Structure 1
Amino acid sequence: MSTTFAHDQQQLAELAESVISQSIREGASDAQVLFFESNTLLIEMRQGRLRTRTRDTQSSMSLTVYRGRHQGTTSSTDFSSARLRETVQAACRIAGYTGEDEFIGLAPESYLCQASRNLDLWHPWDLDETAAQLLAHRIENGIISAGQDVVSDGAWVSTSQSGWYLMNSRGFARGDRQTNHVMSAKALAKKPGCSQLDFWSSHSHLASSMMAPEGIGYTAGSGALAALDSAPLTGSRHCPVLFAPSCALTLLEHLVQATSGAVLYRQNSFLADGLGRDVFSQHISIDEDPFVPQGLASRSFDSDGISGAARRIVDNGRLSGFFLSAYAARRLGMAPTGNGWGPGNLSLCSSLTRDSDGLTAMMKKLHTGLLVTAFSGGGPRLINGDYSRSLRGFWVEGGEILHPVDGVTVAGNLADMFRNIAAVGADRLTQGALSSGSVLIDGLQVAGR
């Protein structure tokens, strides 16, 4: 795959400088512009047949101008001089009509990133369409190797390269680039009167770090087969629930949602007043590190040009940090945290976890209760933490899987769920910005159909 963008970093810097200068001449008191380019190759196979073959090239520019406390935002996919000039003029016109907001503006200069870090995110994959199709075939072979009752419902191979350059009128000007490679499988298991789907993927900045294609397919195929022949879970009960790693990550996702941006300054989160309070079990800590080499959410700066920091979000159960852009921080009267593009490499850990605490050991700790392996709907109400989700998984007795279950609903409150985490497994999984092992929660309401 070609590693050439339409513009190199120097050319993007010159375009950005031109846009900022034009914005000031058009009457803006401040301005910020982001130029972005990407190249992507995507192959999709289904049961040996090519379904999608895509080569996609994208270019975009996003401009925000300020006229005092008024803001105008525009974007363009055309980098020609005439089009950029029209985009600047449109942004300045918009700023003349928008309402006044005392909290808008560029990030304070003292918080801006002073030097980009080498985070080892650029590893182009020499992959053409033929090689990508061969990898997709290997994924599908992995799916069918899981058993005779499972077939492929899709195999995907993707490689992409992206580069960007951010500049503002206060002197910030930095760019970066990264590669992203993904292989995925969707498996369909079928028996008379019953079918189940399961999905698995591997994602890395470095192609050689991904899971083997056959392993990706086999994991999806095995998951779909294991979910067949589900037995009903009748009635309602209060019991311990074990979230498999892929499901445990949603608990971190809900924490981020409840401690970010508008839900905080509008007081629409059950954790809006949670700083400094014990909100998790005391053995739980959650760390953020946007500077992990090859981390899937690593970056030198965010959408405001602010450098994040390696920090502890939850310290022995106590909430010690929010996820704040420059705007949200002003609304809250707090310092920005460099999270304008979301969290950077967030990891949930327990001081009680041992190296031997894999999923089998965690089921022994569960003893009798529900193992959750996939969600099919629902979610929390962030304003009060009420939680209800439909799911599939397994009923466990005596630490052993008894049978698969489907159409089950689990309900509780996130505040109670966080405080009632009894154990975290060593079976760690990383997807995007989030990392966790399986999570055992003491006591949730579980109901069958």
Structure 2
Amino acid sequence: MSVYFSYSQSQLKSLAQRVISQAISAGATSANVIFSEANGLHIEMRQAVVRTRTLHAASGMSLTVFRGQHQGTTTSSDFSDKGLEETVQAAMRIARFTGVDEFCDLFAPSPLPATLPELDLYHPWSISEQDAIALATEIEAGIHSVSPEVTSDGAWVSAGQSQLWLMNSLGFSQGTVQTHHAMTAKALGRRHHMSQLDFWSSEGNAAESLMPAYNVGSTAAQGACLALDIQPLAGNHRLPVLFAPLAATSLLSHLVQATSGAILYQGNSYLCGQLGSVIAAAHITVTEDPFIPRGLASRLFDGDGIRGKKRKIVENGRLLGYFLSAYSARRMNMDSTGNAWGPGNLRLTSGLTRAEDDFNAMLNKLDNGLVISQFSGGSPNLMNGDYSRSLRGFWVENGKIQYAVDGITVAGNLADIFKGILAVGNDAVTEGPFTTGSVLIDSLQISGNQV
């Protein structure tokens, strides 16, 4: 795979300068443009056969112009002189026909410090197709090593890099370059007339930070194998529930959804107006840090040119911050939090967690109840917090997994779930911008299902 871009950062900056200048000359009161480029390699294998091999490359621009309180946005992949001019004119035409929005305009960008933190996000992986195929073969070998009942339903290897340059007419001008690599396994377990799928993935900015390919496969296969020991769960129960680490990242996702942008200024979140209020157990803290070196959601600025900061979203159970873009901040008469591109490296922790609180220790704390390993459907109602989801997991008695369960449902309310957190494990995993260990909830309503 090529580790080179078609454009240098200085060339993207020059293109952005031309577009901003053309937009202002065409009558825009302000403008914002992003030029981006990405390329990479993707290999998919199934049962030792390469199903897909892709070398991809793409570049594009996104331009937003403002004519007073009117806004026009357009995109293009044509960087020629004529293409840039036509893109500017198209955005200006759109702005002439959009409705008045008193909140639309650029937000004054926060100045970046003279010395920027080193995020260490760019680690090109000059892997060949043959080397990627060899890694996919190792992933499948890991899948097949666990049990004769488990086989590979797919192995993926990808290596990619991207860059962008963001500029606006208020003086912000900055670029970024980063890489993203991943290996993924999908394992299929079969027993009699029943089958179960499980996945595992390892991703990072640097190839050396990825889990060994064989272990990616074997981890997925172990999950599929455990899921075959399934038994029916009859009746309804109200018992403690342990979210396994990957399932627990969904709680952070729900928190972000309920404290972000449009859902807040439209009044559609159960957390509207709750800044300063207790929304979680007193030992719970949620921290955002967009400056973690090699973080999967690390960045110096967002799509509005606003610099984020390390901050406590929740501290000792109390909600201290929202996730706001420039537009949503203006709608709410607040300051932007630098989250136009979402959260930056969010971590849930507990003041009660100890070094020995691994997953087995969390099972002991659960004692009798349900472990959620992955969700299969449903989503919370963010307006009132009502929570109902179908899932796959394990039934636990006396701190020991007894058997797998599937197709059952848990129900409750997000407000009660966060306030009912009893413990957070020291078995943290990271999925995208979210990091957490397993999370033990005091109780949820569990509805069984016959297998």
TM-score range, shorter chain: over 0.9
What's the offset of the Cα at 1:192?
Answer: 1.1
Quote the residue 2:285 is aligned against.
Answer: 285
Quote the residue 2:222 is aligned against.
Answer: 222
Quote the residue 2:353 is aligned against.
Answer: 353
Tell me if the contact between 1:242 and 1:366 (Cα under 8 Å) persists in the aligned partners: yes
The Cα offsets for residues 69-115 of structure 1, whole Å up to 9 and x where unpaired, read as 11000000111110110010010111111111111111124x24345
Quote the residue 2:145 is aligned against.
Answer: 145
The Cα offsets for residues 2-31 of structure 1, whole Å up to 9 and x where unpaired, read as 122111011101100000010011110100
Q: Where in structure 2 are the equivalents of 1:33-432 lying within 5 Å?
A: 33-109=33-109, 111-114=110-113, 116-432=116-432
CA 1:72–1:112: 2 relative to 1, 3 Å: farther
Cα distance between partner residues in 2 of 1:150 and 1:157? 20
Cα distance between partner residues in 2 of 1:296 and 1:112? 24
Tell me if the contact between 1:377 and 1:391 (Cα under 8 Å) persists in the aligned partners: yes
Cα distance between partner residues in 2 of 1:432 and 1:112? 27
Tell me if the contact between 1:36 and 1:162 (Cα under 8 Å) persists in the aligned partners: yes
Give the residue type in structure 2 aligned to 1:217. G
The Cα offsets for residues 293-347 of structure 1, whole Å up to 9 and x where unpaired, read as 0101000000000110000000000000000000000011111000010000000
Tell me if the contact between 2:270 and 2:385 (Cα under 8 Å) persists in the aligned partners: yes
Q: Kindly report structure 1 stretches of 4+ aligned residues shifted beyond 3 Å.
A: 112-117
Cα distance between partner residues in 2 of 1:23 and 1:16? 11
Tell me if the contact between 1:155 and 1:186 (Cα under 8 Å) persists in the aligned partners: yes
The Cα offsets for residues 362-386 of structure 1, whole Å up to 9 and x where unpaired, read as 0000000000101100010000000
Tell me if the contact between 2:108 and 2:170 (Cα under 8 Å) persists in the aligned partners: no
Cα distance between partner residues in 1 of 2:253 and 2:112? 26
The Cα offsets for residues 16-72 of structure 1, whole Å up to 9 and x where unpaired, read as 000001001111010000000000100000010000000000101000000011100
Tell me if the contact between 1:113 and 1:305 (Cα under 8 Å) persists in the aligned partners: no
Cα distance between partner residues in 2 of 1:126 and 1:54? 15
SS of the aligned residue for 2:234 comes to coil
The Cα offsets for residues 223-259 of structure 1, whole Å up to 9 and x where unpaired, read as 0010003111101011000000000000000000000
Aligned residues: 448
Cα distance between partner residues in 2 of 1:112 and 1:102? 25
Larger mean Cα displacement after TM superposition, 363-372 or 3-12: 3-12
SS of the aligned residue for 2:79 comes to coil
Give the residue type in structure 1 aligned to 2:341. W
Cα distance between partner residues in 1 of 2:268 and 2:89? 36
What's the offset of the Cα at 1:360?
Answer: 0.4
Q: TM-score, normalised by structure 1?
A: 0.99
The Cα offsets for residues 97-147 of structure 1, whole Å up to 9 and x where unpaired, read as 1111111111124x2434543210000112010000000000000001111
Give the residue type in structure 1 aligned to 2:174. R
Gaps of at least 5 residues in structure 2 are: none
Cα distance between partner residues in 2 of 1:17 and 1:218? 50
Cα distance between partner residues in 2 of 1:191 and 1:238? 31
Give the residue type in structure 2 aligned to 1:196. Q
The Cα offsets for residues 152-187 of structure 1, whole Å up to 9 and x where unpaired, read as 000000000000000001111100100101000000
SS of the aligned residue for 1:234 comes to strand
Give the residue type in structure 2 aligned to 1:158. S
Give the alignment's Cα RMSD to 1 decimal. Answer: 0.8
Give the residue type in structure 2 aligned to 1:67. R
SS of the aligned residue for 1:185 comes to strand
Cα distance between partner residues in 1 of 2:256 and 2:250? 10
Quote the residue 2:440 is aligned against.
Answer: 440
Cα distance between partner residues in 1 of 2:368 and 2:344? 36
Cα distance between partner residues in 2 of 1:175 and 1:361? 45
Cα distance between partner residues in 1 of 2:28 and 2:254? 38
Q: Does 1:22 align with 2:19?
A: no
Cα distance between partner residues in 1 of 2:4 and 2:211? 27
Cα distance between partner residues in 2 of 1:113 and 1:445? 49
Give the residue type in structure 2 aligned to 1:395. W
Cα distance between partner residues in 1 of 2:107 and 2:215? 45
Tell me if the contact between 1:409 and 1:446 (Cα under 8 Å) persists in the aligned partners: yes
SS of the aligned residue for 1:96 comes to helix
Cα distance between partner residues in 2 of 1:79 and 1:448? 57
The Cα offsets for residues 187-234 of structure 1, whole Å up to 9 and x where unpaired, read as 000011110000000001010011010110000000001000311110
Give the residue type in structure 1 aligned to 2:368. T
Cα distance between partner residues in 1 of 2:334 and 2:106? 15
Cα distance between partner residues in 2 of 1:119 and 1:191? 47
Cα distance between partner residues in 2 of 1:125 and 1:107? 37
